[in-house]
Each structure stands twice: as C-alpha cells, then as structure tokens.
Structure 1
Amino acid sequence: MVLYLSVAIIAAFVLWGLLNPAGLGTAAEAAVAWTTGTFGWYYLLAVLGFLLFCGFLAFSRYGGIRLGRDDEQPEFSTLSWFAMLFSAGMGIGLVFYGVAEPVSHYLVPPGGLTPETPEAARAALKYSFFHWGLHPWAIYSVVALSIAYFSFRRGEPTLISRTFRPLLGQRVEGPIGKTIDVLAIIATVFGVAASLGFGAVQINSGLNSAFGLSIGTPAQMVIIGVVTVLFLISAMTGLSKGIQLLSNTNVILAGLLMAGVFVFGPTVFLLDTFTTSVGGYVQDLINLSTRLTPFTGATWVGGWTIFYWAWWIAWAPFVGLFIARVSRGRTIKEFILGVLGVPALVSFAWFSVFGGTALHAALAGDTAVTTATDADISTALFALLQGLPLGEILTGIATLLIASFFITSADSATYVLGLQSSGGAKEPSNPVKFTWGVMQSLIAVALLLSGGLAGLQSASVMAALPFSVIMIGMCFSLFRALKSEFPSRTPGRTVSDTPTRPQDGPAPASD
C-alpha cells in the first residue's frame, strides 16, 4: 500500500508539472512564500533543537549504547563510512554552492552590510559555514540514529514509522504508520529531485565551459536521462559494490579538485580565512541559529537559511536511512561525533578554499566570478576554475565529480526509497528500485520545466514541513526508548551506567 500510494501521489505531481508547468510554478511559489513567511521561526527553533538533542545524547550516559548487539563491530571501515555518508549527504549541493553561495552573500549580504566590502566577504563565509556546518548534520543524525537504534538494537524493520513504537505501540503497523512512511517517501523524492536538478544544471554549465554545449532545459533533460541510466545500472549492483565504490571515487575526485584550487589559489590567505571563519562561526552560533528580521521585513533569511533548513529536512529521510544502514555497530557517541564533526569540518575546508579563492579575487578587483555568479550561479565554479592555472584540467575534474556525486546520490536514494516502500527489506527488488529511479528523475524534469532553480528550491521547502513534525516525534520516541535501557533510580540503590537490553519489543536482528 505504501508503494502504490506514494507512486500515485508523485505520478500526479509529475503529470501536473509536465502538462501545466506554469501552473505548477505559480502554485509552488505561493506555497513557498506562505511556508517561509509563516513558519520561519519554527524551522529555526526546530533545527536548533535537533542540534542540542544530539549534543545531549552524545555526552549523556546513553552515549555508550551500541547500534546493534553489545559486542557487534562496524560493518564498514571508518574511511568508507565517512565517504559514504558525506557523498550521500552533501555531494552535489556542496559543489554547486561552494563558490556560488559565498559570492552571492558578498554581492547581497545579510544584516544591512555594504555589498562588496571586506565585511561582506567575512559575513559571506560565516553564513556559508553556518548553512553547511553542524545544523544539517544534526538533522540527519536525528533520523539516522532513530532508525539505526530501533532496527539494529530493537529488531524493527528499517522503516521510519517503526521508530514510533514507544509512542504508538502496535499502531505503527496500521494506517498511522503507513501515513508516516508515505510522508517520508514524498519528502525524500522531492528533496533528492531538487539535488538532481541542481546537478544537471551544473553539469550543463561544466560541459558548456569545456566543450561549448548550450545551456538550457533541453540539454539538462538529456543529461538527466543519461545519468539516470548510469545510476540505475549502479543501483542494481547493491550497496556494498556500487555505492561504496562511487563514494570512495567521490572522495578522491573532490580531494584532487580541492587540492588543485588550494595550491594554485592564494594558499596563505585561504589558511587565514579558514581559521577566522571557524572562529566567527563558533562565536556567533546561537545568534545565527535564531536570527530572523521581523522589524526590517528583509527576506534574506527566508531565501537562504529557511530554504536550507527545509532542504536538509526534506533530505533527512533519505540520508538518515542511508546513514543508518551503513552505521551498524557504532556507539551512539561515536555515531554523533562522527556524523556531526567530520563532514562539518570538510565543509568548512571546502568553502574556505573555493569561496575564499573567489572572494580574494573579487576583493582584488577581478570581477569574472562575481559577474558569472550574478548572471547564473551554476557557472560560478567554472568561472573560478578557468581563471586558475590548469583551468581546463580542473574543469574536467569538477564535471566528473558532479556527475559522480549525481550518480551516488540518485543511487543511494533509489536504494532507500525501495527500502521504505518494501516493508524495510534489506535489499529491495530491482523492479522497485527501477521504479523509484525513474520517478525521481521525472520529478527533477518536471521541476526544471515549471520553474528552473526556483522550482527545485520550492519542492524542498514544501516537502519539509510535514516531515519536520515527524522528526520531533522521533526525538521523543528515541529518548523514551533509551531511558528504558537503564533501571530507574530508587533511594538507596546504586545504578550502573551500563545499559541493559530492553525486554519489550522484537528481538534484535541477527543479520
């Protein structure tokens, strides 16, 4: 029922976008304006709450609980684990916005700063760190940790609905549970489709820079079609082969590209930029986390921060399920510190190198990147690379990296969507994965036709609102389950911090 209902809802949306793209674009624009204007405060507080919740669990007595049997060891090496969760969680977006976001903030800064000044450049990197740092990974951690705990320690199927058993009991197997799973699938499809659209647009820009391919929707649709065939082939090979190989490839390509820009760019300036920006981010973390502009009516926060928080939430069921699947055997503390810390530091380094190089050129009077960003943000990265030594080679590496991230994200999403719509099956059937692979590509096409990049952003914001409520429920449910692992404290009784295996619920999975 979950599979058929989800496919029917999404197919109706695809038909709307293909048959009446202008109507879909208008409706999406109105829905996004209402959502960001009405629930901006809610998104900020909810995401800050997820971050605080993760910090509490990591350093509480629950941090030693293992996601699996007490003697179980991780399935994947630490390096492969980092590579897979990073590729699934940040890939295309990080490459797309690595130059474009800092330069966009430099041209149109927040808080009434004067554009194109050193102060605007400083704020541009601080906000880029904020949008790609701890907060998105806290969102992913809430979903991933809940699923991993209930699946690997409590023996539940790998479904988001089953994380609600402490709150709903047997009702997780009825209509309420099915509704939760359908909402998770819809959020996943729209969140991933937005990223696939971003990837297609930027691959188009890379091929234009390297080979002169015209930029436009027809070319982007062809790119989506070609990459769809590639990621479907990868999806049929299973998790341990296709996705793991692609993830490791992504890390190598990303490392080569970042090393090239770091060496050929203003190296000492980039080191100083990283240090200063990390300090500014840590110092202003709480202020950034709660910043709205009710007195000035400015829309900057809604267009950037609220969009990002909604995008991460829309991605959370996909990335969360995938991270949970590859994190079996790790303790809660190890899981949270790894998922929050390492990808955030890599993101900081990425923005310092790419954004810092672009801002250094802009402050020195070189307008190539700022002009390209102002005209079309998908060309910002390639405008930067073309101005560096070996620019053609770096452009080729960047295009390959975007394509590889595209395939990895779509491959991972196809697996997760198949898992969610197959009752939590460890390895969904190929026909189910094929169905979801085609559906998410069709949605990316429909969104591009209805509104281009704005349409892609609209889908994420709309899909995130209902799932954010589900995430809050997951926090309460997980905390109740963790408390049950420790005996209650009573007067005169000494309680060990060693957790006890819960006696209620299904037995832990043995595979």
Structure 2
Amino acid sequence: MWGVLAQDSLETAAGKGLDWAISTFGWLFVVAADVFLLLAVYLALSRFGRIRLGRDEEDPEFSTLAWVAMMFSAGMGIGLMFYAVAEPIQHYAAPPPGSGAEPGTGGAAGAAMQYTLFHWTLHPWAIYAVAGLALAYATFRKGRGNRVSSAFVPLLGAERADGGWGRAIDLLAIFATVFGSATSLGLGALQVAKGLNLTMDVKDSESLEVVIICALTAAFVVSAFSGIHRGVKWLSTANVVLAVALMVFVFVVGPTVYVLGVLPASVGNYFQNLMTMSTRTGAFVGTEWLAAWTIFYWAWWLSWAPFVGTFIARISRGRTVREFLIGVLLVPSGASTVWFAVMGGSALRMQQTGDADLVAETAKGAENALFAMLDHLPLYGVSALVAMLLVALYFVTGADSASLVLGSLTSRGALKPPSWIVVAWGVLIGAVASVLLLAGGLKSLQQATILVALPFVVVMLALCVALVKELREDPAAAHRPRTSRPRGLQAAVRATVGEEADTETYDRRHGGI
C-alpha cells in the first residue's frame, strides 16, 4: 500500500535505509555467507553425514533426477536467465575494484567470469543447503512441523519455538520469502517484456510488465492446484530440458573452442582467488560495487533461504545428510558453472571480436543482454522464443514453490497446506512484484531484497548453532553400523542390558561407543 499510495516516499526511504544497511552491516553479509559455506563442507565430511533425513531405513521420496530438477528450478532459475550474459558483460566493461584488470581487456574477461562464478556457485548453494538441512532434519528426523521455527527447538525449547518466539522467526521468514520471490518475479517480468518487444515489436512498458505478472500468476494458480508431485515436478523437469537444449544450441553454433577454454580457466581463477573474494568487505575500497553486486547477491540468497530451504527440505525426505549436502552444493554449482561458461563466455567472445556490441546493449538494461547475444546467432526467432518460455516457466515454478512454502509457514508447518492459502500467497507475491517494479524497477527490487534480508541474517546464524547442537545429539552420528561390531561387543550388550536390547539402547547408556 505504501508503494501504491506514495511511490516517491517509498523510494526515498528505501534508498536511505539501504545506505545505512550497507555502511553498517555490509561486513555481516560477507562473514555470514562464509560461515554457511564452511559449515556445509564440514557437515558433509564429518560423521554427521551418515544421518538420514527420516527413519533410518527410509528411501528417498523422489528420484535423483526429479530432486535435482526441482531444486535447481526453485533455487535460481530466473536469475540464471537474467544474468547469464548481463553480469559477465557488465564486469567486462567495468571490472570489479581490486581485480587489477583494465576495462575491455582479456584480464577483464577473466575477472568477469571469476566473479560471476563466485556469485552463483558455492556460496549461494551453501546458504540454501544449511537452511534446507536444518528444516529437513527437524521435519523428517524429529517429526516437527515444516516451518523455520521448528529447527530452533534445541535453542529455544519446544514451548518457546511453538510460541511467540517461534512465530516471530516464522514471520521474518515470511517477509524474506515474499520480497525475495517478488524480486525474482520482477526480473522475470522485465525479461519477458523485453523479449516480446524485440521479437514481436510489442511496446515495452510498465503496463506490459504488470500484465505479464498477472498472466503468469494465473498460470501458477493452475499449477498450484495440481500439487508438488505433478505441477512443480513436471514444470521443473521441463525447465531443465529446455535450459540444456538452449545451452547446447549456443555451445554448438557459438564460439565452441573459446567456450571450452573459458570453462577450466574460469574455474581455476575462481578457486585461486576464492579466499580474497570471500573476505572483501569494502574496508579498503568503495562499497558501491559491493552493494550493487556481492552484498545484493548474498542478501538475495539469504532472503530466498527460508523459501528454497523449506522447499528443498520438503523434497529431500529419505536422503542422508552427506548425500543432501553434496547434492545441494555441487550439482547446481557445477551446472551453473557450465551455464555461465557457455552463455557468458560466448557473449564475451562476441564482444572481444567485435561481432556484437553487447556492452552498449546491456547498458540499456540488463534484460536486453541475453536477447542481444542470441540475435547474433542463427535461428534467433526460435532461440528467443525458447528463452522467453524458459523465463515464464521459471516464473511459474518459482511462484508455485514459494507459495507452497508460505502456505506451509502459515499453516503450522503442514506439508500439504490448503490450496486456497497457496493461491492467495501466489497472488500476493505477484502484487508485491508489480508494486516494486512500478516504484523503481530493478533498483527498487534490489533495495527491498537487502533491507528485508538484514534481520534474517541473524536468524540464519542462530539456525547454524541449533543445527549443530541437534546433530551432535543424534545417536546415528555416534555409533558405527551394526554389522561392523565385533562379536565380543554384541555379547557385552546382551550381558549388560539383556537379550532383547538393541545396539541403540547400548549406545544410549554407554556414550555411543
């Protein structure tokens, strides 16, 4: 309502609030993202990795392919389409401070790919992994409701986690989810509108963007009524198939040899400079670039953490902690690396050889970049149509998944919330996205994301403490598999606690020997 009734006031307040948040707490976003990555790697390699997210004998609910497809589509689908070309090209034209690269040079191209991978691979998926693991463990291992507050029982106790403190945590998660999702849907509307303008000469305007949001929200409603085992699962699989087809097309008809060189070189630069990039807080260089890129991304991923974490938890029943973390960290990160190497690498090569002036096109708006690159390849009409269809499908699956999570958070953690609540949240997310676009476009979307994510950083850090505390108390992390026990120990069990006792009872009495 603030955005509808007083756009100028909202824009001014958001701008001042953002400046304060970045100057005061920019370091907190950077440190928190590093904590999540280190914790995810530690848990995957530790003895906690063998704990199953469910009963000890339970099998995964979804196949690995469906699991990966839904996880990937929910995590960052629209963002991959929006920034696939735009981010590398923008870094090429204006290299990150401290990179030492000159604009428009080979060094700038290397820095562009390096920072793009930094923003889209291990760090964001570590944020999702920690949130998803805590929620999956609380829901399927401990049998609590599927809401963020359920994971805080080890810190708050069951009564407080189910009372006012728990509701406050869930409310913060709801705000973060609504604005994080609205940001992605706004980006999707911008890109679809630009695609229609370039391919069908439809006038690009704010009205068109709002119409697109309304139309895709209506499509989401149809998907929402079909449930997670149909709508989300089928659309997510279709997204992956179409994205792979578009990527293979660009790889084959584009600068194939150059892309093959970009992939290993970018990965090498990324790992070589990971420590430096991960610890930059703006203390020695200006914070403007960090605010526009790294801190915005970390805030975006944090605002998506309750949504993506809850959704990944919902589809991960029956998997072990190690399987969950390795899958969530490496599979989407690897796929994103290949995606940016093909799409971003092809765009950089076109710019370097003079085949296209993508810097100028991107300067008109980041939503132009992908279509401008496809325009310089064969079959532009077909590839542009596929790109628009991909964005639209990602919009629907993103709204579908976010609304399912919001429905669960506002239905006492129900795994199957009432359809009307899910649909109501989808409509509200679309409305917020429309208002933010009208209030200032991409800049307004970024401001709202960072401001809403700030208080949720504290929640996420506390979530890490609660998760580790609970995993340490799990009997499955303390003892080795039963088949590995020597006969003498089995005899000691029977002698100590009786013939009918099992090894879990022995572990409980004797400190998990």
- Deviation string, structure 1 residues 282-306 (Cα, Å, up to 9, x no partner): 1111111001332332521221000
Conservation of the 8 A alpha-carbon contact between 1:103 and 1:359: yes
After superposition, the C-alpha distances for 1:14-33 in whole angstroms (9 at most, x for unaligned) are x1111111211111111112
Question: Which residue matches 1:123?
Answer: 111
The residue aligned with 1:202 is 191
Q: Deviations over 1:370-417 (max 9, x none)?
A: 111011110100000010011111101101001000101001111110
TM-score by length of 2: 0.92
Q: Which one-letter code corresponds to 2:376 in the other structure?
A: G
Counterpart contact for 2:88–2:113, Cα < 8 Å: yes
22-31 or 408-417, which moves further after superposition? 22-31
- Which of 202, 216, 226 pairs up with 1:227? 216
Corresponding residue number in structure 1 for 2:76: 90
Q: What is the identity, as a one-letter code, of the residue corresponding to 1:264? A: V
CA–CA separation in structure 2 for the residues paired with 1:410 and 1:199: 11
SS class of match (2:299): helix
- Could you list the per-position Cα deviations for residues 458-482 of structure 1 after superposition, in whole angstroms to 9, with x for gaps in the alignment? 1110111111111111111111111
What is the match of residue 312 of structure 1? 301
RMSD across aligned positions (CA)? 1.8
- Aligned match for 1:48, one of 28, 34, 52: 34
Contact 2:122 2:329 (8 Å CA) reproduced: yes
Q: Could you tell me how far 1:503 is from its partner in structure 2?
A: 12
Sort the Cα spacing of 1:175 and 1:264 in 2 relative to 1 into closer, same or farther, 3 A: same
**Letter paired with 1:43:** F
* Structure 2 CA distance for aligned equivalents of residues 97 and 312 of structure 1: 15
Counterpart in the other structure of 2:459: 470
CA change 1:80–1:120 in 2 (3 A) is same
Which of 273, 282, 296 matches 2:271?
A: 282
Which whole-Å CA distance do the structure 1 matches of 2:477 and 2:89 have between them? 54
Q: How far apart, in 2, do the equivalents of 1:132 and 1:372 lie?
A: 23
Q: 2:511 maps to what in 1?
A: none
Match of 1:433 among 419, 422, 427: 422
Residue from 369, 384, 401 that aligns with 2:358: 369
Instruction: Tell me the alpha carbon deviations over residues 189-243 of structure 1, each in whole angstroms, 9 at most, x when there is no partner.
Output: 0000000000000000111111011112111000001001000110111110100
- Alignment gaps of 5+ in structure 1: 1-14, 490-494, 505-511
CA separation in 1, counterparts of 2:27 and 2:267? Answer: 25
Are 2:316 and 2:324, in contact at CA under 8 Å, matched by a contact in 1? yes
Corresponding residue of 2:341: 352
Q: Does residue 180 of the first structure (1) align with residue 169 of the second (2)?
A: yes
Tell me which residue corresponds to 1:379. Answer: 368
Of 35, 45, 48, 1:62 maps to: 48
Residue 25 of structure 1 corresponds to 11
Aligned to 1:135: 123
Alpha-carbon distance change, 478 to 265 in structure 1, aligned in 2, over 3 angstroms = same
CA distance in 1, matches of 2:181, 2:136: 21
Partner of 1:343: 332
Q: 3-state DSSP class of the match of 1:335? A: helix
Aligned-partner Cα distance in 2 for 1:406–1:488: 40
> Could you tell me which residue of structure 1 aligns to residue 90 of structure 2?
104
Report the AA paired with residue 449 of structure 2.
S
Shift in Å at residue 501 of structure 1?
9.3
Q: Distance in 2 between matches of 1:214 and 1:401?
A: 21
> Separation in 1 of the partners of 2:480 and 2:348?
54
Larger Rg: 2
Query: What SS does the aligned partner of 2:285 have?
Result: coil
Candidates 241, 244, 257, aligned match of 1:252: 241
CA distance in 2, matches of 1:37, 1:352: 33
Residue of structure 1 equivalent to 2:447: 458
Report if aligned partners of 2:471, 2:477 keep a CA contact under 8 Å in 1. no
Could you tell me which runs of 5 or more consecutive residues in structure 2 were left unpaired when the two chains were aligned: 483-502, 509-513
Report what 1:149 is aligned to: 137
Per-residue deviation at 1:163? 0.4
The verdict on how the C-alpha distance between 1:44 and 1:290 changes in structure 2, with shifts beyond 3 A counting, is same
- The structure-2 alpha-carbon separation of the partners of 1:477 and 1:360, relative to structure 1 and needing over 3 Å to count, comes to same
CA deviation profile, 1:323-377 (whole Å, cap 9, x unmatched): 0000000000000000000100111111101110110011112343211101111
SS of corresponding position for 1:236: helix
* Contact preservation (8 Å) 1:485, 1:500: no
Aligned amino acid, residue 151 of structure 2: T
Counterpart contact for 1:484–1:502, Cα < 8 Å: no
CA distance in structure 2 between the partners assigned to 1:435 and 1:208 by the alignment: 30
**What is residue 192 of structure 1 aligned with on the other side?**
181
Where 1:27 maps in the other structure, the secondary structure is helix
CA distance in 1, matches of 2:140, 2:221: 28
Amino acid at match of 1:476: V
TM-score (norm 1): 0.92
**Identity, % of aligned positions:** 49
Tell me the distance in 1 between the aligned counterparts of 2:4 and 2:368. 26
Aligned position for 2:485: none
329-338 or 363-372, larger mean C-alpha shift? 363-372
d(CA) in 1 for partners of 2:507 and 2:226? Answer: 37
Partner of 2:280, secondary structure, is: coil
Separation in 2, partners of 1:280, 1:500: 48
Q: What displacement does 1:64 show?
A: 0.2
Residue identity in the other structure for 2:174:
I
Name the SS for the 1:137 alignment partner.
helix
Alignment check: 8 A CA contact 1:485 1:501 kept: no
Q: Kindly state the Cα deviation for residue 497 of structure 1 after the two structures are TM-superposed.
A: 7.2
Alpha-carbon distance in 2 for matches of 1:395, 1:500 = 58
Distance in 2 (CA, whole Å) between partners of 1:66 and 1:487 is 8
Corresponding letter in the other structure for 1:118: G
